[in-house]
Structure 1
Amino acid sequence: MNQATPTLYDRLGQRDGIARITRSLIQNHLANPLVKTRYLASENLSRVEQRVIEFFCAGAGGPEVYSGQDMLATHRGMNISEQEFVSVVDDAMAALASNGIDPATRSEVLSILWSLKGEVIRV
């Protein structure tokens, strides 16, 4: 009998692991001079955190339902530059690494994040 490959959701630690990664990610953003003002200007950073957790969980194959807008609607009018996008992705990779996520899983997440580029940059 073959053992099933763990899902991305499982490899990220399910909801609890993804919540820890998200908290690290937001802390990275708040310390990042290139993007911190976008997060400091947020009216409700805890809501942003919850939406990121939902999005990450649902996108990783978990049972959580994402209750926010799609990526294009969320980022429309923000005029996010490519440099900001890359910086945010770097913050995400650092959050994954600091939470003990293995390199192969980090690469998988990187591919997913990079696939969203067209729905985030200068929309």
Structure 2
Amino acid sequence: MNKTLFERLGGRSGISIIVDDTVENHMNNPAVNARFLPLKEKQEQLTIIKNHTIDFFSAGSGGPNNYKGKDMVTAHTGMNISHAEYMHVIDDIFMALDKNNIDEESKKDVLSILWSLKDMMIGK
């Protein structure tokens, strides 16, 4: 029996670690950190964003979690994310996946999900 992507990413706890590492990467990435550094001073808001991200990716990767946050268009409207910024964000996510020893097949599955979301975020 094949494991779900949720299971291959380590379940909710594994996804939580990946999200934490990704946010840290965003904060250290000069191409996107202006969007993330202000959240260091707003820990409550940062925690909410992280939890929504964990819930969203858990539900979207075959986990039992039920995502109750905003849809991607609503969540990103007004941000005017560029294609270049989106690509930097993907790079940061992949650095986190590598740090957590996620296998190549799972990384391909993550990329497929991220690519399917891009038009809901870029330029909104």
What TM-score, normalized to structure 1? 0.94
Partners of 2:19 and 2:87 in 1: CA distance:
17
| 3-state SS in 2 of match to 1:41 | helix
Opposite residue 59 of structure 1, the aligned amino acid is: G
2:35 aligned with 1:38? yes
Q: Which residue is equivalent to 2:24?
A: 27
Q: Matched residues in 2 for 1:65 and 1:29: separation?
A: 26
Alignment of 1:1-123 (within 5 A): 4-42=1-39, 43=42, 44-123=45-124
Deviating 4+ runs (over 3 angstroms): none
- The number of aligned residues is 120
Deviation (angstroms), 1:41: 2.8
Aligned equivalents of 1:32 and 1:46: distance in 2?
20
Q: What is the rounded CA distance, in whole Å, between the counterparts of 1:88 and 1:6 in structure 2?
A: 26
Cα distance per residue 1:13-44 (max 9 Å; x no partner)? 00010001111011001101111111123441
Aligned-residue Cα RMSD (Å) equals 0.9
> How many angstroms apart in 1 are the aligned matches of 2:68 and 2:25?
24
Structure showing the higher helix proportion among its residues: 2
> Unaligned 5+ residue runs, structure 1?
none
Q: Which AA in structure 1 matches 2:20?
A: R
List alignment gaps of at least 5 residues for structure 2. none
